Amino acid sequence: MIYNAPVKEIRFVLNELAELTSVCSLPGYEDCSVELVDAILEEAAKFAEGVLAPINKQGDKGATLNDGEVTAAPGFKDAWQQYVESGWVGLRAPADFGGQGMPALVAIAAEEMWCSANLAFSLAPLLTLGAVEAIHHHASEELKAVYLPRMSSGEWTGTMNLTEPQAGSDLAQVRSRAVPQADGSYLVTGQKIFITWGEHDMADNIVHLVLARLPDAPAGVKGISLFIVPKFLVNADGSLGARNDVRCVSLEHKLGIHGSPTAVMSFGDNGGAVGYLVGEANKGLGYMFTMMNHARLGVGVEGMSVSERAYQKAVEYARDRVQSRAVGSPDPAGVAIIKHPDIRRMLMTMRSQIEAQRALAFYTAAALDRASRHPVASEAARNQALVNFLIPIVKGWNTEQANELTSLAVQVHGGMGFIEETGVAQYYRDARITAIYEGTTGIQALDLIGRKTFSEGGATARALLDEARATAEKLAAAGYASMASNLQQAAAEAERCVAFILGTFGTQPQLAAAGSVPFLKLMGIVLGGWQLGRAALIAREQLGEDGVDEDFLKAKIITARFFAEHMLPQVGGLAAAIVDGADSVLELDDSLF
Amino acid sequence: MIYNAPVKEIRFVLNELAELTSVCSLPGYEDCSVELVDAILEEAAKFAEGVLAPINKQGDKGATLNDGEVTAAPGFKDAWQQYVESGWVGLRAPADFGGQGMPALVAIAAEEMWCSANLAFSLAPLLTLGAVEAIHHHASEELKAVYLPRMSSGEWTGTMNLTEPQAGSDLAQVRSRAVPQADGSYLVTGQKIFITWGEHDMADNIVHLVLARLPDAPAGVKGISLFIVPKFLVNADGSLGARNDVRCVSLEHKLGIHGSPTAVMSFGDNGGAVGYLVGEANKGLGYMFTMMNHARLGVGVEGMSVSERAYQKAVEYARDRVQSRAVGSPDPAGVAIIKHPDIRRMLMTMRSQIEAQRALAFYTAAALDRASRHPVASEAARNQALVNFLIPIVKGWNTEQANELTSLAVQVHGGMGFIEETGVAQYYRDARITAIYEGTTGIQALDLIGRKTFSEGGATARALLDEARATAEKLAAAGYASMASNLQQAAAEAERCVAFILGTFGTQPQLAAAGSVPFLKLMGIVLGGWQLGRAALIAREQLGEDGVDEDFLKAKIITARFFAEHMLPQVGGLAAAIVDGADSVLELDDSLF
């Protein structure tokens, strides 16, 4: 199951669409340069192709639990060791605690390749980095000194313990308790579910970040605190001490990502797990939000990455498989199925959406870097608003489409796609979680229409649509008629929806919410079309230059045109459903479903 | 994992939309009546709910192969015994050989329930009935007398052996051979793959229908003959004789329908499997087409049935699961998630499409009955044209949507949807095969634009769109403004696409083929919307009558309106892609994917 990291494409998106040079010029990223990033991409690609991709299929067999101890899937422990030795864990970890402090934009490009190669594996570093981010921003210097260096190196991994059986995404319902002890630590008790890489044998220690309530905490989300609960306690000299009172009581039997053990974790079965308060009491939820942006962006990239891998597999099969005469040909000899128009339509559907998703995700990552580092406050704020608006779209759209795109990859394989040995079914199964965890698409969409659109009077939405229209004008001037007119029309439909949301959310929020997911998808399509329009214009310009890869640039333009002609027209139907269809979403009595 | 057969809904569609009474009045169906069908539906529902649904989940563990012998999944053999004793196998088998000779319309209604309850199980009778149909239409009286009574009873099951490893859907490539013997039988050799229920322990004998070539056969599809190859030879007195030289060499490890063993079958490893020619030599492919219509309609029903089961599960979860405050409510208390607008949108999306698909499938089944039995030749011919046109749409649209609708059911469950124990992931996996087997959606769509649209100058397509417009006028008169205008507009877009196909298929078939699957989906949506429009008008009329179920009828109208406001607007985007987007499907060089 070969994976070819699309380094040329990634480089194009980084340099041209996300403007890497300007990110490298931000304060604190002085060490970053296009040349360094090129080298990082080459090495990350090699690692993805050579180490992670080959063990992805065997990872599907899953980790195993014996008496509270989880053994990672075959080959994973060794791959982790190599990953750690190569220094990959700390790529975007803070430089002051042993990380490399690279921009989010660079990290996300490497993360794409690792996720494509092996989604289940890549969740271990992604979760670890999330924990690093939370600790770095909110924990005391003491705790940072103990935990960050060894998490940034990958010697220890990290987890997020949020969900409880009764509480799904509704963290107001969290019941786990933490009782203060005389020495300043806490004793944590409770049960957490869906803990990704909650227990395994790849690292010496596992640092759980756990949401729990203090005895006197107020009800709801304002009474949640964040604790560090290590699997092994850490002695004063930094060596590992006693086993903490936290254990894995079972592993979930899941539809996909079998290589990543999803644990039910029990804290305090024997009196209480020792934990350490991160930051202030009752502020845990806010601390979680700190890492939410990168985490949600990361999951959006996961969805796109699995689609990319599935696309590659489908292309390979479509080139090799000979079946049926060419449509309309008198010659009865079979041809490679890539010659069949519907196979091409499926491949172009995958290809064009993946390129649009990558462009939008990387553009968002660059905005994330600018939001946190830009020296001009107004620019930082503008970029923060972009991040806020774009993250739910990248998370929601990329992952919803991952279900459809990996399904197309199965379809290209015909009957062979349904046979597990073929391998493409694994991508279909693995992708399915991405639209669910880190906030379902419904949660992303509510966030998008409420805090990200209504609360700011649609300012960012309209600014982005203005940019899309400006690109459409340039496309028209360049002679790309269908791209120009379809993007203009789609932007106009999007405006209509923004106006509808602004007009309803305040007084009749149920009407706005009824079309929230269609609105998220609509914005994904419009903004994806905008990014591909930008890409086509840049490719057109570069085509006149010396030494360029003409095939690559021409393919970019064709792909952008396909997206404009096949995806952008879907916007009209979505807008109609959003603006004219809200009542019929809400009308049926609950009892009549 | 409860299943509630939607008998009231099925009865409404049978009686009102598919006009059961008129089907029962066709020659040869005199024994059929609304009362009898009611009784059949009640019993079929009981069997589906009480016997088949409870073993569906354990069926997911799969059948096992030991030394060429397959043991069906736990509970399946016993269920088959009960199914046989209840006489269900022969419901639509010819009455002159022990079947009950019920119309396709009645059979398809019962089959829906069995497929919803247990798709993997239901494939055994479906394949058996396909074999019965082929034998009944084409085999000699002698062969019929030996095989049909015991297949119609379910004492023996049947299979279809078409696919070979090198040949997928391209039957021109079939290589299996059959050599005539002195006694009039043949010795068959070759390997067949993807043989559903190819080997199992539920019945005393398995009757394989096998495509193979005679030694002097011409190349391509004109050299394929059809053979009966029983697992056990049948003695002159009807008792079972020697084991034939055919065996199961392996079972596929599949994404879904684990309960149905998918076998690799080897014929003639020890000299040749004894087979009997069905009908004339070299006419096997045509004979296969005999049963193709019912089989493809059946698979369309399978897709819809799995969606129905997934929908029921999602509704149940959405009613039970309490999470998060109501959108816009100041009360922080969690509510059942069915109150959340996006959950309702997902449920309505499933519900409305399932109702549209059922209506279209049953309408097609009634046309199938009229095509074969209508005493007026012109009416029979008109119905045959309807069947020809509608079958690829029902097969393709219902099954493509099954992927999406079962995915929505997973999504409604949030994180629990990804956990296999929840059960909904099984529906997602099971559904995935339906858009592949019995001809992929791409194959259906090529058939639709070529033989079913272009070859008849678009006559049936336009006749159906005329009917849709007539319904739209009635909807307007009834005050259903959005249903009327959206259906009118969708029909107009569909006309545009028909004109495009008629204008291109003859001279530039690649352009027509590029949009063939979007055209199939577009027709599914338009005709589904037409059927739901009809349903709404009938429901509106019945609402004035005494003793009707007002809730049921009102829900019908709301559901039709949702479909009109959310699905019909998608037609514009599809039409744009079909008419304006063909070039960009074909443009990219093969090497640049």
B16: pLDDT strictly greater than 80:
yes
Cross-chain Cβ contact B411/A509 below 8 Å? no
> Is A74 an interface residue toward B (CB < 8 Å)?
no
| Residue A15 bridge partners (DSSP) | none
| Residue A240 bridge partners (DSSP) | A234
Question: Which residue from B minimizes the CA distance to A419?
Answer: B254
Question: Residue A378 domain-assigned?
Answer: no
CA separation for the pair A304, A299 (Å, rounded)? 9
- DSSP category for residue A50: I
Cβ neighbours of residue B547 under 8 Å, at least 6 residues apart? none
Question: Residue B31 domain-assigned?
Answer: no
**What is the C-alpha R_g of chain B?**
24
Tell me how many degrees the CA angle B529-B535-B541 measures, rounded to the nearest 5: 140
Q: How far is CA B287 from CA A549, B158, B292, B429, B443, in A?
A: 53, 15, 9, 32, 19
Counted domains in chain A: 1
On whether the CB atoms of residues B246 and B229 are closer than 8 A, the answer is yes
Cross-chain Cβ contact B561/A576 below 8 Å? no
Tokens of A443: 């949660």
Question: Which residue from B minimizes the CA distance to A566?
Answer: B577
pLDDT of the residue at A402: 98
One-letter amino acid of B79: A
Question: Residue A280 domain-assigned?
Answer: no
Q: Which residues of A touch B318 (CB under 8 A)?
A: 593
Q: How many CB atoms lie within 10 A of CB B56?
A: 25
Question: Which residue from A minimizes the CA distance to B444?
Answer: A342
pLDDT of the residue at A1: 73
Question: Residue B71 domain-assigned?
Answer: no
Question: Rounded to a whole number, what is the distance in Å from the CA of B593 to chain A's nearest CA?
Answer: 7
- What 3 state SS string does B82-119 have? HHHHCCCCCCCCCHHHCCCCCCHHHHHHHHHHHHHHCH
Question: Rounded to a whole number, what is the distance in Å from the CA of B144 to chain A's nearest CA?
Answer: 32
User: What b/e readout covers B67-102, taking b as 16+ CB neighbours within 10 angstroms?
Assistant: eeebbbbebbeebbeebbeeebbbbbbbeebbbbbb
pLDDT of the residue at B98: 92
- φ, ψ dihedrals at A112, nearest 5°: -55, -50
- φ, ψ dihedrals at A567, nearest 5°: -95, -45
Question: Rounded to a whole number, what is the distance in Å from the CA of A104 to chain B's nearest CA?
Answer: 27
Q: Report the complex ipTM.
A: 0.97
Q: Which of A552, A565, A578, A589 to mutate against chain B (most B CBs within 10 Å)?
A: A565
Q: How many CB atoms lie within 10 A of CB A85?
A: 10
pLDDT of the residue at A200: 98
On whether the CB atoms of residues A517 and A445 are closer than 8 A, the answer is yes
One-letter amino acid of A226: L
Cross-chain Cβ contact A411/B593 below 8 Å? no
Q: What percent of chain B has pLDDT over 90?
A: 96
pLDDT of the residue at A118: 98
The residue among B411, B423, B554 whose CA lies nearest residue B58 is: B423
Q: Which residues of B touch A573 (CB under 8 A)?
A: 569-573
pLDDT of the residue at A292: 86
Q: Which 159-198 residues of chain A touch chain B by CB within 8 A?
A: 163, 167-170, 172-173, 193-194
Of these residues, B438, B467, B473, B545, which one is catalytic? Answer: B438
pLDDT of the residue at A576: 98
Angle between helices B119-138 and B104-117 (to 10 degrees): 150
Question: Rounded to a whole number, what is the distance in Å from the CA of A382 to chain B's nearest CA?
Answer: 28
CA separation for the pair A147, A157 (Å, rounded)? 10
CA separation for the pair B343, B328 (Å, rounded)? 15
Cross-chain Cβ contact B169/A577 below 8 Å? no
User: What b/e readout covers A345-363, taking b as 16+ CB neighbours within 10 angstroms?
Assistant: bbbbbbbbbbbbbbbbbbb
Domain span holding position B484: 440-588
pLDDT of the residue at A76: 98
Tell me how many degrees the CA angle B51-B56-B58 measures, rounded to the nearest 5: 110
Q: Which residues of B touch A193 (CB under 8 A)?
A: 415
B1: pLDDT strictly greater than 80:
no
Cross-chain Cβ contact B332/A172 below 8 Å? yes
Task: State which residues of chain A have pLDDT below 70.
Answer: none
Question: Residue A166 domain-assigned?
Answer: no
Q: Dihedral of the CA atoms B415, B417, B418, B423 (nearest 10)?
A: 150
Q: Which 228-247 residues of chain B touch chain A by CB within 8 A?
A: none
Question: Which residue from A minimizes the CA distance to B311?
Answer: A593
CA separation for the pair A366, A14 (Å, rounded)? 9
Identify the residue whose tokens are 């479906």.
Answer: B126
CA separation for the pair A202, A78 (Å, rounded)? 8
Q: Which residues of A touch B447 (CB under 8 A)?
A: none
pLDDT of the residue at A249: 97
> Is A536 an interface residue toward B (CB < 8 Å)?
no
- φ, ψ dihedrals at B72, nearest 5°: -65, 160
**What is the C-alpha R_g of chain A?**
24
Question: Residue A154 domain-assigned?
Answer: no
The residue among A157, A66, A72 whose CA lies nearest residue A118 is: A72
Q: How many residues does chain B have?
A: 593
Tens-place pLDDT, residues B353-371: 999 999 999 999 999 999 9
Cβ neighbours of residue B199 under 8 Å, at least 6 residues apart? B65, B68, B69, B70, B206, B231, B247, B248, B261, B263, B265
Question: Residue A205 domain-assigned?
Answer: no
Q: Which helix (H) or strand (E) holds B384?
A: helix B377-412
pLDDT band for position B326 (cuts 50, 70, 90): very high
Q: Could you please report the per-residue DSSP string of A117-161?
A: H-HHHHHHHHHHHHHHHHHHHHS-HHHHHHHHHHHHTTSEEEEEE
Question: Which residue from A minimizes the CA distance to B331?
Answer: A220
CA separation for the pair B248, A291 (Å, rounded)? 54
Q: Which of A331, A551, A579, A585 to mutate against chain B (most B CBs within 10 Å)?
A: A585
User: What b/e readout covers B408-442, taking b as 16+ CB neighbours within 10 angstroms?
Assistant: bbbbbbbbbbbbeebbbbbbbbbbbbbbbbbbbbb
CA separation for the pair B533, B556 (Å, rounded)? 10
CA separation for the pair B441, B17 (Å, rounded)? 26
- φ, ψ dihedrals at A212, nearest 5°: -155, 165
On whether the CB atoms of residues A395 and A299 are closer than 8 A, the answer is yes
Average pLDDT on B254-273 reads 98
Identify the residue whose tokens are 């060791």.
Answer: A81
> Is A50 an interface residue toward B (CB < 8 Å)?
no
pLDDT of the residue at A502: 98
What is the three-class DSSP state of B208? strand
Tens-place pLDDT, residues B438-457: 999 999 999 999 999 999 99
Cross-chain Cβ contact B565/A576 below 8 Å? yes
Q: Which of B346, B521, B593 to mutate against chain A (most A CBs within 10 Å)?
A: B593
Cross-chain Cβ contact B513/A342 below 8 Å? yes
B169: pLDDT strictly greater than 90:
no
Tell me how many degrees the CA angle A272-A274-A275 measures, rounded to the nearest 5: 120
Question: Rounded to a whole number, what is the distance in Å from the CA of B424 to chain A's nearest CA?
Answer: 10
Question: Residue B496 domain-assigned?
Answer: yes
Q: Which residues of B touch A592 (CB under 8 A)?
A: 551-552, 554-555
B43: pLDDT strictly greater than 80:
yes
Q: Which helix (H) or strand (E) holds B253?
A: none
Question: Which residue from A minimizes the CA distance to B312?
Answer: A593
Nearest to B569 among A334, A555, A577 (CB): A577
